[in-house]
Amino acid sequence: MTESLDPAPESPVEEKTRARSTPTSTVGRGKAIKRADLPEADQWSDGQTTVMFGDSLDHYAAWDAPDCIVSDGAYGVLGFEGDTSDHTGMPEWYEPHIAAWSARAKGSTMLWFWNSEIGWATVHPVLEKHGWRYVNANIWDKGIGHIAGNVNTKKIRRFPVVSEVCVQYVREPRVKGRHIKFWLLEEWKRTGLPVRESNKACGVADAATRKYLDQGHLWYWMPAEKFQMLVDYANTHGIPEGRPYFSQDGVRPMTSADWEETRSHFECPHGMTNVWSRPALRGAERIKTNGASGRAVHLNQKPLDLMTRTIEATTRPGEVVWEPFGGLFSASVAARRLGRRSFSGEIDPTYFHYGLERIIREAGQRPLL
């Protein structure tokens, strides 16, 4: 998580919260900011960006289905009010959210799961259980500057941690609750045509039988134009009584555009790797309590460039980003700047307050066209 290394004077509108004995609070770390005045609204939207106060579990149903979810929730480090005190409680913490995401996700929805390495390891089985498939772990390397002067190497019994992970997941492609590869072969068999004829249908030597219709680990998501060829061939040459073939609604065969929707979008910028070297957030981007001169509002505020990187790679303009654990709504700000729509929730009134101000400021600078 991003640490504030530059404590600054307090603003008159907030008070420093005293340490409490409850284990589920950042307050014990003595860095929380509490804002006395109430937010001017408990939700705000201009049609492109929507932020809501409260538990996201109560809001998901009202949000448009996501193309991308950016999760930056509990880390098991008492990072914010309600974070768990270690990783052991994290599966229970995340499971209701993951179940809700899964219920609303499309086949093409991408998930970016931010966490510590042990936090992610603990939650990974829950993600798998709910149909999320691991793609890649990206490492945010904050560099030696992150710990400079803060580590006693004589006492520490591990190497100092300067990283977080941002793990990419996709939905497993499914039709009627089963992996799509089973449905593809079943549909082809319904046509009454020999399986090897699928190669002719797709205009390939043997890739259709060897990869597209394989039922094991060699299964390969076929290019959309090959899918269209397969569907057209089946509906032209297959037994007439069984038509339509490759239809999800029993009326209209799927098209190449429908097929594209079964897989998430990804565009890798040239020269990018899975190690993201970038210092923790400081300077003007960091939201402070009293403009530029106050204390950092949120210990976990994420850099906009990292949020932008993930959202830009996996969504197109106009698509929908969910940010279930909004904080200061960094993913929503990045989404807005990229012309994406977003929905976000934040449960803490103080963070919501500052986050709402940030979004309204952002909307003023970049109004809807």
Binding to ligand SAM (CB under 6 A) within 345-364 occurs at: 345-348, 351
CB of 160 to ligand SAM, least distance (A): 21
Rule CB under 6 A: say whether 164 interacts with ligand SAM.
no
- Pick the piece of the chain touching ligand SAM (CB under 6 A) from 162-170, 255-263, 267-275, 340-348: 340-348
Rule CB under 6 A: say whether 50 interacts with ligand SAM.
no
Instruction: Please report, as a single letter, which amino acid is at residue 213.
Output: L
Looking only at the bridges linking them, the beta strands covering 68-71 and 320-323 are: parallel
CA atoms within 13 A on the CB side of 280: 21
CB of 92 to ligand SAM, least distance (A): 13
Rule CB under 6 A: say whether 112 interacts with ligand SAM.
no
Out of 138, 198, 327, 340, name the contact with ligand SAM by CB under 6 A.
327
CB of 131 to ligand SAM, least distance (A): 21
- Pick the piece of the chain touching ligand SAM (CB under 6 A) from 185-193, 212-220, 322-330, 361-369: 322-330
Closest-by-Cβ residue to ligand SAM is 327
Q: What is the 3-state secondary structure (H, E, C) of the chain?
A: CCCCCCCCCCCCCEEECCCCCCCCCHHHHCCCEEECCCCCCCEEECCCEEEEECCHHHCHHHCCCCCEEEECCCCCCCCCCCCCCCHHHHHHHHHHHHHHHHHHCCCCCEEEEEECHHHHHHHHHHHHHCCEEEEEEEEEECCHHHCCCCCCCCCCCCCCCCEEEEEEEEECCEECCEEHHHHHHHHHHHCCCCCCHHHHHHCCCCHHHHHHCCCCCCCCCCCHHHHHHHHHHHHHHCCHHHCCCCECCCCCECCHHHHHCCCCCCCCCCCCCCEEECCCCCHHHCCECCHHHCCECCCCCCCHHHHHHHHHHHCCCCCEEEECCCCCCHHHHHHHHCCCEEEEEECCHHHHHHHHHHHHHHHHHCCCC
Cβ closest to ligand SAM, residue 33 vs residue 230: 33
Rule CB under 6 A: say whether 89 interacts with ligand SAM.
no
Rule CB under 6 A: say whether 56 interacts with ligand SAM.
yes
- Pick the piece of the chain touching ligand SAM (CB under 6 A) from 50-58, 118-126, 143-151, 265-273: 50-58
- Binding residues for ligand SAM, rule CB under 6 A, total 23
Rule CB under 6 A: say whether 108 interacts with ligand SAM.
no
Cβ closest to ligand SAM, residue 132 vs residue 325: 325
Rule CB under 6 A: say whether 325 interacts with ligand SAM.
yes
- Pick the piece of the chain touching ligand SAM (CB under 6 A) from 5-13, 79-87, 158-166, 230-238: 79-87
CB of 120 to ligand SAM, least distance (A): 14
CA nearest 331: which of 297, 353, 362? 362
Cβ closest to ligand SAM, residue 56 vs residue 191: 56
Cβ closest to ligand SAM, residue 193 vs residue 328: 328
Binding to ligand SAM (CB under 6 A) within 283-302 occurs at: 298, 300-302
Residues that bind ligand SAM (CB under 6 A): 55-57, 72-73, 79-82, 298, 300-302, 325-328, 330, 345-348, 351
